[in-house]
Structures are given as C-alpha cells and as structure tokens.
Amino acid sequence: MRFLPLVAALAFPMAAAATPDPSDWEAVLQEADGQTVYWNAWGGSTTTNDFIAWVGARVSERHGVTLEHVKLTDTADAVTRVVSEKQAGEDSDGAIDLIWINGANFAAMKEADLLFGPFAEQLPNWGYVDTEGKTVRTDFTVPTEGYESPWAMAQVVFMYDTADITEPFGSMTAILEWAKANPGRFTYPQPPDFLGTTFLKQALVDLTDDIEVLQKPVTEVDYDAVTAPLWSFLEELTPNLWRQGRAYPQSGPAQLQLIADGEIDLAISFSPGEATAAIANNQLPDTVRTFVLDNGTIGNASFVAIPYNSGSAAGAMVVANVLMSPEAQLRAQDPEVLGYGTVLDMDKIPRDDRAAFEALDLGIATLSPEELGNVQAEPHPSWMTRIAEEWATRYGTAR
C-alpha cells in the first residue's frame, strides 16, 4: 500500500497530483517549516500591507514559515515574472511563491500551465468555505478547479461624502443626473486599472436590460448592441467628471485622497469596509458613508495562487490555509483592520467563531450583509478585456 504513490508517480509521471501533496497535510506542515514564502501582492493599500504582515507573524509563530510581502503595483508584473522564469528554464525555485490574483490574470496563468495545483479544495480550512452562496469556485466565470484558494469576498459599493451628498443614489442614471448638476465631483480610476474597469462593468450591468447575456463570452453575442447603453452613458458623463475626464486617478485608493482633499464627493470601491477602515486611518473625513445600487452590485472573491515553479509550495499552501481560517477571516472583516468580506459559511464554522463574527462591529461606513443586498455575478472576462480596450480607444488618449 505504501508503494502506491510511488507506483502512481512512476506510472503516471505527468499526473495532476501536485507535489507536495496537499492532502497529506502533516507532510506539508513538516516541509513548510523553515521555508520562506514570497507573496506577491498589491502594495498600494497600507491597510492590506498591515494585514499581510499580521498573517506573516501568524505563520511564523505557528508553522515556522517566513512570509515576505513583495509589494506590486500591478499583479501583471508577477505574471510576467513567472513567464520569464519559465522561458529561462527556471522550473524549481522561482522568485514567486504566492500571488494575490483573480480574473484575467488567473485565466492567463491557468491556460499557460503556470500554476501549481490543484490544492485549494484539499486544504483543511476549505471545509469552512461557503461554496454555495459565494462565487468561490469560479473566477469571473472561469472554473478555478482548485488552482486558486479564496480569501476575501469583495462587493462593489459607492463611497460618498454626506457633507455634500444628502441621499445615496439608486442607479447609474441617478448618478449621471447628479453629475450633470454637480460637474467635477465624481471620477473613477483609469482603466485598465481593475477598479476602473469594474466601474464600467457595473455601469453596464446596471444599465442593461439583459444581465444573462453578459455571462456568455463576448464573441457569441452582439457586442455593439449590448454595450450601446454604456457608451451613451459615458458620452454624457465624461464632460461632467472630475477634470472633465482629462485625467483620472490611477488607482482605487487614490480616490480616497481626492475625497479627503475635497476634490470629489463620490467614488467607487470594491470593499464594503474600505471606507470605515480609511476613516479610522485618518484618510477620510468621518462624514463618508457607503451605498449600493437598488438592483445590487457586482461581487467576486479574491484568491491566492501558487506558481508552478515555486520552491516553497508547502509553505505557500500553509499561508493559503491560514488565510481561510476563521481567525484570519474575522480579522480581515474587522473594519479597524481591513474591512473585507468573508468567504466562510457562518453555518460551517465553530460556534465560538460564529459568535465572534456576529459580535463584530462593522463600523460606521460599512453596510451590513443584509444592506449589501443582491450580489450580481461578474461578467465573462472577455467582456472586461473588450470594454477596457474600447474605453482606451475612446477616452484613453487625449485628442
């Protein structure tokens, strides 16, 4: 019986089983002890950086894993790195051990066989994850198949300064009307920034009559007809944007500074707790609140994936597992820390942890899960690419 894995390895040298094998968790823990894991994650948010540092302390204390946060400006940089390494033949100890990833980047890496796995569903804490109510098994309609492990739920909300805006808006059309009456007080990050394209998607989802069609790849439907409402919306909106659309903030958090500076009153965010965390951090005035649209907003999960050539895959799996633990999830949801949504199913986690979740004060600017309302599914990734391209053509270059 002992020989079975060996025979399997010999008989099926290209077997899909990943080494180290995540189902043998004891072995993984042992191998992970002493490893250094380079987690390439976006470094533009100081609150997230702090959280990652906290995770590092946990895995170091409990499992002897050293976590190094490699701060990226763009996840694509990490993808490029792995690609370069594969090109150079570096197959066993790449520079990257873990990537915070989703969407198009994940799709690209999965397709190019650049990922280690499958591993996510064998991790011990997978049992706590809410696989029914939350989109943790598909990433922008692409099945994850265990090649990435979820750690946060995100949902689009809009942040607004109640000192200048009295009532939240229920739809994109309402936002447009307000922008026309108050030009220069709203903007969104410049695509292809992730949040910027999210705004475009959200607008499309809210303006379109037929949401189902967006779940299909863009090539199968009449792109022009479906996106027409979006472009006419932008036609009217852009002259009324901050700086008349001649410049855009380059990232999501950059908008926080604009609100604080009094330059804008409304901004989009992908984290329901971001506003509360920012207020606690002195980055936003305490008059900021959040709202969602009447029809609901887009939501998705953040994942971590392990490159195929990571030399510390065991350590990376340990980190991924810790990220899904109730303790880490609770901490991430705490608005004083990060304010991210959880991927866990409240019914599946131990009672004490559930009580802790329920007792958590979500903060003054965070909507409760009921108030967050309807989660709309992400469109197929091909829509994002195509819309971002067209936006770049129409608005990306000054004329």
Partner 1 sequence: MLRHVPLVTLVVMIGPVVAGLWGALIPALGHLPGAGLTGPSFEAIRALFDWPGLERALRLSVSTGVLATVLSLLIVVLVTAGWSGTRTFALLQRVLAPILSVPHAAAAFGVAFLIAPSGWLARLASPWLTGWDRPPDLLIIQDPAGLAMTAGLVTKEVPFLLLMTLAALGQVQQEQRLKTARTLGYDRVTGWLKCVFPAVYRQIRLPVYVVLAYSMSVVDVAMILGPTRPPSLSVQIVKWMGDPDLSMRLVAAAGALLQLALVIGALGFWRLGEIGFAWLGRIWIEAGQRGGLDPVLRIGGICMGILSAMATLLALLGLFVWSISGFWGFPNAFPEGFTLRNWERHGPGTLEAAAETFLVAGAATGLALVLVLGCLEAEHRSGRTLTTRGLWLLYLPLLVPQTAFLPGLQNLLLSVGADVGRGPVILAHLVFVLPYVFLSLGDSWRAWDPRNAVVAGTLGAAPWRVFWQVRLPMLLRPILTAVAVGMAVSVGQYLPTLLIGGGRVATLTTEAVALASGGDRRAIGVYSLMQTLAALLPFALAILVPAMAWRNRRGLHV
Q: Could you tell me which stretch among 38-46, 56-64, 321-329, 364-372 binds partner 1 (CB under 8 A)?
A: 38-46
Rank residues 87 and 219 by Cβ distance to partner 1 and give the closer one: 87
How many residues belong to the site for partner 1 (CB under 8 A)? 65
Q: Is 49 in the site for partner 1 (CB under 8 A)?
A: yes
Q: Is 22 in the site for partner 1 (CB under 8 A)?
A: no
Question: Which residue from 22, 249, 272, 315 is in contact with partner 1, where contact means CB under 8 A?
Answer: 249
**φ/ψ (deg, to 5) at 97:** -110, -25
Rank residues 80 and 374 by Cβ distance to partner 1 and give the closer one: 80
Q: How far is the CB of 188 from partner 1 (least distance, A)?
A: 13
Q: How far is the CB of 288 from partner 1 (least distance, A)?
A: 11
Q: Is 386 in the site for partner 1 (CB under 8 A)?
A: no
Rank residues 70 and 346 by Cβ distance to partner 1 and give the closer one: 70
Contact residues for 146 (Cβ-Cβ < 8 A; gap 6+): 117, 118, 119, 120, 121, 122
CA 37, CA 65: separation in Å to the nearest integer?
7
Q: How far is the CB of 123 from partner 1 (least distance, A)?
A: 25
Q: How far is the CB of 86 from partner 1 (least distance, A)?
A: 6
Q: Is 312 in the site for partner 1 (CB under 8 A)?
A: no
Positive/negative CA dihedral, 52, 56, 62, 66: positive
**DSSP-derived pairing of the beta strands 98-101 and 36-42:** parallel
Q: Is 235 in the site for partner 1 (CB under 8 A)?
A: no
CA 108, CA 365: separation in Å to the nearest integer?
36
Asked if 130 and 345 count as a contact pair (C-beta separation under 8 A), the reply is yes
Question: Which residue from 44, 64, 229, 373 is in contact with partner 1, where contact means CB under 8 A?
Answer: 44
Asked if 304 and 148 count as a contact pair (C-beta separation under 8 A), the reply is yes
Q: How far is the CB of 140 from partner 1 (least distance, A)?
A: 14
Q: Could you tell me which stretch among 77-85, 172-180, 225-233, 348-356 binds partner 1 (CB under 8 A)?
A: 77-85
CA dihedral in degrees (221, 225, 231, 235; nearest 10)? 170
For residue 359, the tally of other CB atoms under 10 A from its CB is 8
CA 180, CA 238: separation in Å to the nearest integer?
10
Q: How far is the CB of 81 from partner 1 (least distance, A)?
A: 6
Q: Could you tell me which stretch among 241-249, 292-300, 309-317, 334-342 binds partner 1 (CB under 8 A)?
A: 241-249
Q: Could you tell me which stretch among 196-204, 231-239, 245-253, 330-338 binds partner 1 (CB under 8 A)?
A: 245-253
Asked if 243 and 187 count as a contact pair (C-beta separation under 8 A), the reply is yes
Question: Which residue from 65, 67, 78, 115 is in contact with partner 1, where contact means CB under 8 A?
Answer: 78
User: Would you list the DSSP string of 69-137?
Assistant: EEEES-HHHHHHHHHHHHHHT--SSBS-SEEEE-HHHHHHHHHTT-B--S-GGGSGGGGGB-TTTS--S
**φ/ψ (deg, to 5) at 320:** -60, -40
Asked if 98 and 151 count as a contact pair (C-beta separation under 8 A), the reply is no
Q: Binding marks (x or -) toward partner 1, 257..276, rule CB under 8 A?
A: xx-xxxx-------------
Instruction: Give me the residues that bind partner 1 (CB under 8 A), please.
Output: 38, 40, 43-46, 49-50, 70-74, 76-81, 83-90, 95-96, 104-105, 108-109, 183-184, 190, 242-244, 246-251, 253-258, 260-263, 282-285, 392-393, 395-398
